[in-house]
Structure 1
Amino acid sequence: MIKMIVFDMAGTTVDEDNVVYKTLRDAVNATGGYKFSLQEVLASAAGKEKRDAIAGLLGSKGAVTGEQIDAAYQSFKTALETAYANLDVKPTIGATSFLKQLRSAGIKVVLNTGYNAATAQSLIDKMGWKAGEEYDLLVTADQVAQSRPAPDMIALAQSKLGIASAQQIVKVGDSAIDIEEGKNAACGYTVGVTTGAQTAAQISEAGPDFIIDRLEDLKLRLPLSL
């Protein structure tokens, strides 16, 4: 029996037009004088804790120092704050009503993300979502020892919400690393969704149980009593 569903944020439940990855691309390119495309950044960095994502991109071009990573990360954070202040953030299509349906049926809804807590909460606030209405718990990368693909965020949510077995948990996300996270946490199902960063082909590389085109399609593929 499914008791908890863990949803990624950007690209899965939150539509922010890839502003995070566009901003990250610009910060990395400016720091190293590179010309990473948005597609390259999405393929490499989607779903990861953002400092780790920057380190990976810079490292793919050769030796990189901690100072370079720190400089790019600080540039990214500053630019993202400005971008988000002016951004029209909205839920992905059908997300608000579907999450409320899940909660009404007694299924715990968790939002998890490679963002830090402040950034994640700012997105939630812009959408007008509230804990106890659209979701039960927010878990962010800066609240655990290891971010994705490690299972730490899911394990923390499982502990906080009192879910007895990981087999009662579903992980849903728009990138391969979301699927890897769910598998590492031994979730009962891992599900990809094509509303965000990566294509179905890219997500498929991680071996999800299935891939959907919108969140509400979960009602057709999972044993949910809604």
Structure 2
Amino acid sequence: MSNDIRLVVLDMAGTTVADDGLVERAFGAAAGSLGVETGSAEHATMLEHVRATMGESKISVFRHLFGEEEKAQRANTAFEAAYHDLVDAGHCAALPGAAEAIAELRGQGRKVVLTTGFSRSTQDRILAALGWQDIADLTLCPAEAGRGRPYPDLALAALLRTGTDAVRQIAVAGDTGYDMLTGTRAGASVVAGVLTGAHDEQRLRADGATHVLKSVAELPALLGPVG
């Protein structure tokens, strides 16, 4: 598949970084800090929303769940603290073939940008745990782009920051429907869903995936040489 893709925008948790339930565990701590009991009907309803909106900016999720800004901020702070503890305890690993795929994409002459729905502090915690501070050309979190997923801002900010010429030169890859919506709304030519994270092929295609891959390791071969 020879083409003119010059910029590859990659999600982190579930796409290049193993999640292994860390988001849900950190959410449990966040909800508990606001008095939501694990195993309760309220907790189950909230967890269903968290799963459906995987990929979205976490503060946006908490604003939806708790309504009041003060509660949302408290939940977000608790979530980040719990997630950081899990990362620091060693519960953070690259998905098989992810680092090699990023290196190959850059070796093909493409820019690679890592994006997330986490805050900058959480993103940096993950990058440091993996030794990935210099693995990509750029890393972006929602606060640095304007809005998080499912809006196109992260992909468009990546385009602007890397000096990419046109939206048709973008490929977006992620494990959630919101990643797919980000790619389609940004006008990316390739919007690739991967099956290593939150959502299944049906959800990925429903939200605009042009391709569905077993993992991000297949992406360099899909894109092929720069055309």
TM-score interval w.r.t. the shorter chain? Answer: 0.7 to 0.9
- Say which is worse superposed, 99-108 or 214-223, in terms of deviation: 214-223
**Is 2:26 aligned against 1:23?**
yes
Out of 102, 105, 120, the position equivalent to 1:117 is 120
Structure 2: how far apart are the matches of 1:18 and 1:41?
15
Residue 214 of structure 1 corresponds to which residue in structure 2?
215
Q: Please state how far the C-alpha of 1:95 moved relative to its aligned partner.
A: 0.7
1:47 aligned residue (55, 61, 69):
55
1:178 aligns with 2:186: no
Instruction: Show structure 2 runs of 5+ residues with no match.
Output: 37-41
Cα contact 2:8–2:113 (8 A) shared by 1: yes
Q: Which moved more, 1:166-175 or 1:194-203?
A: 194-203
Cross-structure match for 1:146: 147
CA pair 26-38 structure 1, distance change in 2 beyond 3 A: farther
Task: Report the 3-state secondary structure (helix = DSSP H, G, I; strand = E; otherwise coil) of the residue aligned with 2:132.
Answer: coil
Show the 5 A alignment for 1:1-226.
1-28=4-31, 30-31=33-34, 33=36, 34-36=42-44, 40-58=48-66, 64-131=67-134, 134-224=135-225
Q: Tell me the TM-score normalised to structure 1 length.
A: 0.88
CA contact (8 A) 1:28 1:57 kept: no
Structure 1 position 41, deviation (Å): 4.5
Report % sequence identity.
Answer: 27
- Give, in whole Å, the separation in 1 of the partners of 2:217 and 2:88: 29
DSSP 3-state at the match of 1:198: coil
Q: Does the 8 Å CA contact 2:33/2:78 hold for their aligned counterparts? A: no
- 8 Å CA contact 1:18–1:197 kept in 2: the answer is no
Matched residues in 2 for 1:91 and 1:38: separation? 28
Three-state SS of the structure 2 residue aligned to 1:170 is strand
Name 1:61's counterpart in structure 2: none
| TM, length-normalised to structure 2 | 0.87
Partner amino acid, structure 2, of 1:179: M
Read off the aligned partner of 1:67 and give its amino acid letter: E
Q: Secondary structure at the match of 1:35?
A: helix
Relative contact order (alpha carbons < 8 A, sep ≥ 6): 1 or 2 greater? 2
Deviations 1:175-212 (A, max 9, x none): 00001011111111111001011122222220210111
What per-residue deviation string (whole Å, max 9, x for no partner) do you get for residues 152-193 of structure 1?
Answer: 221121112111001011000000000101111111111100
- Tell me if structure 2 keeps the 8 A contact 1:191–1:209: yes
Does the Cα contact within 8 Å between 1:42 and 1:198 map onto a contact in 2? Answer: no
**Residues 1:73 and 1:129: Cα distance change in structure 2 (over 3 Å):** closer
Q: What's the offset of the Cα at 1:32?
A: 5.2
One-letter amino acid of the structure 2 residue matched with residue 147 of structure 1: G
| Contact preservation (8 Å) 1:25, 1:41 | no
CA contact (8 A) 1:5 1:108 kept: yes
Question: What is the CA RMSD across the aligned residues, in angstroms?
Answer: 2.0
